[in-house]
Copies of this chain bind each other. A is one copy, B any other.
């Protein structure tokens, strides 16, 4: 087990009606807030009105900026930064899913930064100050409500880039499973697969003596795999939505990955894919991980066997190789049951012409010239992996 700092100061309000706390919580930090959100769905389902009433009731002045798209864009972040500067706003309230939260985090880091905020996402500068961000989560999966990371797309260059800083941890996150019952099946499934990918990134590690966090990873996987098919059948069931929402939160906080070298190859690759093709992140993650698990099988089987044995039901009669294959097979069946693609072709990606460029981009900020730790992938490896992921 590796040493490190474990720090997750975000205050979580979990449960029915918790969004009514938002006014009071925001008011602790500021009397002026940028309310940042995506599409009209929060107006349709009444959440927007509830939030405004709570903020009004607490005497908070509200400035609005909607229109965040999936794979959130640079452009809107600039608009948000400008608005905060013009109106002297120093608190951002994200109401939405991962894209809205990430866009809010980018604005929060961009306001006090003198240059182009995208410097912070292209490793030309570090976050040294940020406005505070609060969250009302409507779509679980990204874990951005409990993580220090944000991902912003640059559609012109067809890139997605990540920024990580403890300063980007939300000061509070409000999680009411009721707010998620209207999330459509595709988005629900994308969120679940994304959360599973967050666990995989931590689970696949060569660090020895990580039993405690291995068990936690496995428990989260078991929970998500149990409730994923159930939520498809009963999308409006509060209890099912609650288990999923909570597991997605835990999947991306400090606990399951503490004390270990993590992997994150698949995320780096998937960001290139979804940046280039503007494809749904969760759907890409599933297809990339399915290819990656097959890639790993002949190269470093240990953790894959353990996964098969402890999570995917490979029993006593199974050897390491059979357990590993069981994990791969069951993961594929799981994706199919959720109507998630198992190949890039199902996502409309037809050929490998861009793969070489995407592979180079994926290693752009890696000193080693490779991605991943459990298994290291060179650009050449990434091309091969993506070709097999084409299906």
Q: Which positions in A face B, CB cutoff 8 Å?
A: 1-9, 11-16, 18, 208-209, 211-212, 214-216, 218-220, 222-223, 226-227, 239-240, 242-243, 246-247, 250, 255, 258-259
Contact of B14 with A6 in the complex, beta carbons under 8 Å: yes
Contact of A218 with B215 in the complex, beta carbons under 8 Å: yes
A selection of 8 A-B contacts at a CB cut-off of 8 Å is A3-B15, A3-B18, A5-B13, A6-B14, A212-B247, A216-B250, A246-B258, A250-B255
Q: How far is the CA of A222 from the CA of B310 in the complex (A)?
A: 12
The 8 Å CB contact of A255, one of B3, B11, B255, is B255
Determine the residue in chain B with the shortest Cβ distance to A214: B219
Contact of B219 with A215 in the complex, beta carbons under 8 Å: yes
Q: How far is the CB of A279 from chain B (nearest CB, A)?
A: 29
Number of copies: 2
Extra A-B contacts (15), CB below 8 Å, given A2-B15, A209-B240: A1-B243, A3-B14, A3-B15, A4-B14, A5-B12, A5-B14, A6-B14, A7-B11, A9-B9, A14-B258, A212-B219, A212-B223, A212-B243, A212-B250, A215-B219
Q: How far is the CA of A208 from the CA of B240 in the complex (A)?
A: 11
Q: How far is the CA of A9 from the CA of B240 in the complex (A)?
A: 28
Q: How far is the CA of A133 from the CA of B300 in the complex (A)?
A: 45
Contact of A243 with B7 in the complex, beta carbons under 8 Å: no
Q: How far is the CB of A32 from chain B (nearest CB, A)?
A: 25
For A3, the chain B residues whose CB sits under 8 A away are: 13-16, 18
Q: How far is the CB of A196 from chain B (nearest CB, A)?
A: 14
Q: How far is the CB of A61 from chain B (nearest CB, A)?
A: 26
Q: How far is the CA of A218 from the CA of B223 in the complex (A)?
A: 13
Q: How far is the CA of A46 from the CA of B81 in the complex (A)?
A: 52
Contact of B223 with A215 in the complex, beta carbons under 8 Å: yes
Q: How far is the CB of A210 from chain B (nearest CB, A)?
A: 8
Q: How far is the CB of A5 from chain B (nearest CB, A)?
A: 6
Determine the residue in chain B with the shortest Cβ distance to A7: B11
